[in-house]
């Protein structure tokens, strides 16, 4: 097959050498195609423009969709919308020289509001959903709400593999419970102790009834905050990232927000906001 | 290789011909679509259960693919639920006045029967022809005026007659004590009672053995003058005062736990699972204590982003405790859990977290727990 293709290519080259006008025509056509591609790319002279970015820069506004029913991520208070997600949105808006105008809506209306242009972005505990990938651009996660190991500060455990022959406490029927069951098949001996609530699972670690607890990050952070004898693992065992959603056609805005979020991660602002609320 | 060979050579000509033929073939095949999956009914099944009160509200109303209907109902059967509640909208059947198309209910009932399931049919919504023309007034599907109560009763008669011996229980309308379910108008217990009376008579004309379930009231504490609804307790009292006692054979009840355990004491000011006992007390007070109650909607949500939800383990514990509680009530029939599955989880987060299986048929821990309870297996999710 390769030989046949090579044969065809060589024949074509020989033919072009004997017909230089066609070769020139080919080069011109290729040049035109490249030029066409360059001038019609998103943002180029004749390409699609990001009107949302232009509007936000001229008016200095950024419309943000939030479902304010989930403290401490977002909550509707007499003083306005407060919470971790509201603060992240405001900080992102500040970094792109705009002001965030938070639009309150029910969770089921978030994507519709984004699609119809009611808001420029949505930050509301969304997860990457393949069903929306055709028109939605997702940022990198701003928060990992997955399942994380909580262990005694004096005997830290960061990896499920370190629990072989030990006991892990989990919240009954949670993602941590299901993950622990999977790990019990991988390890030689893993005892799973189930509790109705995540706090009960972490309490079992404090009392020595379990070597570690595998619970969701939000519960873990709220519990460990008051208990210095416990610590969280560096990374989640079962990740569950919350992401910001934007319209793909707003390519410039998406790019700027990606950069702003990356900068917030690099300079520690994102962690500061998370620590403020959790 | 002969570098002086003329171009295009035979090889290139052959390649060009091949490409041309392929293009023609693609053009011919383009309009051809794959056939929809062929659904074989399969041998008749029976439900294996030790808990006949276990029931689930399915949602096949807007499920267009037959294999998904079959898969849903087979999973219900495997879970050990012997009964389902399913919604059969009037507009689906009588789209044009007097012209009945039974394709949708026929298909669901065919599969339900094949899985050995008993169906409680919820009937409701109004077709376009039974509502005012849109140029006069914009209405919703739940808008039914008195002059079309007879038309709805005719549909009920036709339904019960057609499925006589196959459907033994029908629910008349849904949550009429909510404005949204009453055409976005102020709710009207007396008008609902008139509708119920007509539907009751028609249902029994169609099938004298039918059990007509009235009420299906939403659990709410809204006062009588609220624009969004009325307390289910007060609504039921006003139904009785309007003469509803003779217009239904059993009361359909919706009772949700929200954040409360099922044992929480009933209180008119609180929506919790045992609110059903307050409705029972109303029935007894109006001399209707001989009639049974069927809980046609109930359950707990484990939505992590909802302040009225519980944790997944609590959801399992509360649900199983509720089944045990219902068993101890001599006046209660089935406890139907809202909701088994919805066709698409994307646009309805609330129901997605009430569902026992995901849209893609992934069984949640609550499904495994109910299955083990119903079939007498060890509960897989126990503290």
With tokens 């059947």, the residue in question is B93
Cis bond before residue A22 (omega within 30° of 0): no
Closest CA to B226 of B282, B185, B286: B185
Answer with the residue of higher pLDDT: A131 or B152. Answer: B152
Task: Note the ipTM here.
Answer: 0.82
Chain B environment of A216 (Cβ under 8 Å): 304
Residue B2 pLDDT > 60: no
Contact: B349, A15; criterion CB under 8 Å:
no
Same fold? A51-144+241-277, A147-232: yes
Residue of B312, B346, B350 to mutate for A, most A C-beta atoms under 10 A: B312
The residue ranges of every structural domain in chain A are: 51-144+241-277, 147-232
Query: Which among B313, B349, B366 has the least Cβ separation from residue A107?
Result: B349
Residue B4 pLDDT > 60: no
Question: Rounded CA gap, A42 and A180, in Å?
Answer: 47
Q: What is the pLDDT along chain A (278 residues), one digit of tens a residue?
A: 678 888 888 888 888 888 888 888 888 999 999 999 888 888 788 888 899 999 999 999 999 999 998 889 999 999 999 999 999 999 999 999 999 999 999 998 999 999 999 999 999 999 999 989 999 999 999 999 999 999 999 999 999 999 999 999 999 999 999 999 999 999 999 999 999 999 999 999 999 999 999 999 999 999 999 999 999 999 999 999 999 999 999 999 999 999 999 999 999 999 999 999 99
Chain A environment of B382 (Cβ under 8 Å): 172, 194
B residues 328..367 contacting A (CB < 8 A): 346-350, 365-366
DSSP string, A18-85: H-HHHHHHHHHHHHHHHHHHHHHSTTSTTSPP-HHHHHHHHH-EEEEEE--EETTTEEEETTEEESHH
Contact: B382, A194; criterion CB under 8 Å:
yes
Architecture of domain A147-232: 3-Layer(aba) Sandwich (3.40)
CA of B339 vs chain A CAs: smallest distance (Å)? 18
DSSP string, A116-167: HTS-SEEEEEE---GGGTTTEEE---SEE-SEEEEEETTS---SGGGGTTEE
pLDDT for res B243: 97
Contact: A197, B369; criterion CB under 8 Å:
no
Q: What percent of chain B has pLDDT over 70?
A: 98
Residue B3 pLDDT > 70: no
Find the length of chain A.
278
SS3 helix, strand, coil % of chain A, rounded to 5? 45, 25, 30
DSSP string, B2-68: -TT--SS-HHHHHHHHHHHHHHHHHHHHTT--PPPPP----S------S-TTEEEE---TT---HHH
Please, what is the Cα angle at A21 between A16 and A23, to 5 degrees? Answer: 40
Give the homologous superfamily in CATH for domain A51-144+241-277: Periplasmic binding protein-like II (3.40.190.10)
Chain B environment of A67 (Cβ under 8 Å): 305
Question: Rounded CA gap, A241 and A26, in Å?
Answer: 49
Question: Rounded CA gap, B149 and B127, in Å?
Answer: 12
Chain B environment of A178 (Cβ under 8 Å): 365
pLDDT tens digits for range A223-259: 999 999 999 999 999 999 999 999 999 999 999 999 9
Closest CA to B176 of B92, B235, B108, B249: B235
Q: Number of A to B CB contacts under 8 A, please give it.
A: 83
Confidence of residue B9 (pLDDT cuts 50, 70, 90): low
Residue B158 · residue B210 · CB < 8 Å: no
Least-confidence region, from A21-30, A111-120, B107-116, B190-199: A21-30
Chain B environment of A126 (Cβ under 8 Å): none
End-to-end CA distance of chain A, in Å? 62
Contact: A196, B9; criterion CB under 8 Å:
no
Query: Which among A14, A69, A174 has the least Cβ separation from residue B3?
Result: A14
Residues contacting residue A186 through CB under 8 Å, at least 6 positions apart: none
Question: Rounded CA gap, B323 and A12, in Å?
Answer: 79
**Phi-psi region at B172: left, alpha or beta (left = phi > 0; alpha = psi -120 to 50):** beta
Contact: B365, A173; criterion CB under 8 Å:
yes
SS3 helix, strand, coil % of chain B, rounded to 5? 40, 15, 45
Contact: A172, B313; criterion CB under 8 Å:
yes
Which DSSP category does B178 fall into? B
Strand pairing report for A136-138 and A241-247: antiparallel
Chain B environment of A12 (Cβ under 8 Å): 7
Question: Rounded CA gap, A252 and B295, in Å?
Answer: 53
Question: Rounded CA gap, A121 and A131, in Å?
Answer: 17
Contact: A173, B9; criterion CB under 8 Å:
no
Give the chain B residue nearest A6 (alpha carbons): B1
- Domains present along chain B, CATH in parentheses: 51-375 (3.20.20.80)
């Amino acid at each position: 097959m390769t030989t046949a293709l090579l044969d065809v290519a060589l024949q074509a080259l020989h033919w072009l050498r004997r017909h230089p006008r066609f070769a020139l025509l080919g080069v011109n056509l290729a040049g035109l195609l490249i030029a066409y591609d360059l001038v019609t790319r998103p943002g180029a002279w004749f390409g699609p423009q990001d009107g949302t970015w232009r509007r936000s820069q001229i008016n200095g506004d950024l419309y943000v969709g939030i479902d304010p029913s989930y403290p401490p991520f977002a909550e509707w208070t007499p003083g306005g919308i407060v919470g971790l997600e509201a603060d992240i949105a405001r900080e992102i808006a500040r970094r792109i020289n705009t002001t965030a105008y938070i639009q309150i809506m029910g969770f089921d209306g978030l994507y519709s509001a984004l699609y119809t242009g009611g808001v420029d972005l949505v930050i509301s505990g969304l997860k990457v959903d393949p069903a929306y990938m055709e028109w939605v651009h997702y940022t990198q996660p701003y928060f990992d709400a997955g399942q994380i190991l909580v262990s005694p500060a004096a005997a830290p455990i960061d990896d499920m593999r370190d629990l072989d022959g030990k006991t892990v406490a989990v919240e009954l029927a949670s993602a941590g419970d299901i993950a622990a069951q999977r790990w019990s098949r991988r390890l030689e001996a893993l005892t799973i102790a189930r509790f109705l609530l995540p706090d009960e699972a972490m309490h079992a670690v404090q009392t020595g009834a379990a070597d570690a607890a595998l619970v969701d990050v939000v519960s873990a952070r709220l519990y460990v905050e008051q208990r210095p004898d416990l610590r969280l693992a560096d990374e989640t065992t079962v990740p569950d990232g919350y992401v910001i959603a934007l319209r793909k056609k707003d390519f410039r805005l998406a790019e700027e927000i990606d950069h702003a979020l990356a900068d917030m991660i690099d300079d520690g602002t994102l962690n500061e906001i998370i620590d403020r609320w959790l | 290789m002969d570098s002086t060979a003329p171009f295009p050579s035979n090889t290139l000509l052959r390649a060009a011909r091949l490409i041309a033929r392929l293009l023609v073939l693609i053009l011919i095949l383009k309009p051809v679509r794959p056939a929809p999956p062929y659904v074989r009914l399969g041998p008749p099944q029976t439900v294996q259960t030790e808990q006949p009160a276990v029931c689930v509200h399915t949602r096949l109303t807007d499920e267009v693919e037959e294999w998904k209907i079959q898969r849903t109902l087979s999973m219900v059967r495997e879970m050990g639920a012997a009964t389902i509640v399913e919604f059969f909208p009037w507009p689906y059947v009588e789209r044009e006045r007097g012209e009945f198309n039974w394709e949708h209910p026929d298909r669901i009932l065919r599969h339900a029967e094949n899985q050995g399931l008993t169906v409680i049919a919820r009937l409701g919504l109004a077709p376009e022809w039974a509502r005012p023309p849109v140029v006069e007034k914009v209405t919703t599907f739940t808008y039914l005026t008195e002059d079309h109560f007879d038309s709805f009763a005719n549909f009920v008669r036709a339904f019960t007659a057609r499925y006589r011996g196959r459907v033994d229980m029908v629910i008349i309308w849904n949550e009429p004590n909510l404005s949204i379910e009453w055409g976005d108008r102020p709710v009207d217990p007396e008008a609902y009672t008139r509708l119920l009376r007509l539907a009751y008579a028609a249902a029994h004309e169609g099938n004298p053995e039918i059990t007509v379930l009235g009420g299906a009231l939403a659990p709410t504490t809204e006062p009588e003058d609220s624009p969004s609804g009325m307390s289910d307790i007060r609504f039921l009292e006003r139904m009785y005062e309007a003469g509803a006692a003779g217009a239904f054979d059993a009361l359909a009840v919706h009772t949700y736990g929200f954040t409360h355990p099922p044992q929480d004491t009933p209180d008119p000011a609180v929506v919790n699972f045992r609110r059903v006992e307050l409705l029972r007390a109303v029935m007894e007070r109006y001399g209707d204590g001989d009639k049974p109650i069927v809980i046609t909607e109930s359950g707990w949500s484990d939505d992590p982003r909802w302040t009225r939800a519980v944790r997944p383990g609590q959801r399992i514990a509360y649900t199983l405790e509720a089944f045990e509680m219902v068993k101890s009530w001599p006046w209660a029939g089935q406890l139907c859990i809202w909701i088994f599955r919805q066709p698409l989880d994307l646009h309805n987060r609330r129901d997605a977290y009430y569902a026992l299986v995901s849209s893609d048929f992934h069984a949640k821990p609550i499904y495994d727990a109910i299955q083990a309870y119903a079939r007498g297996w060890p509960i897989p999710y126990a503290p």
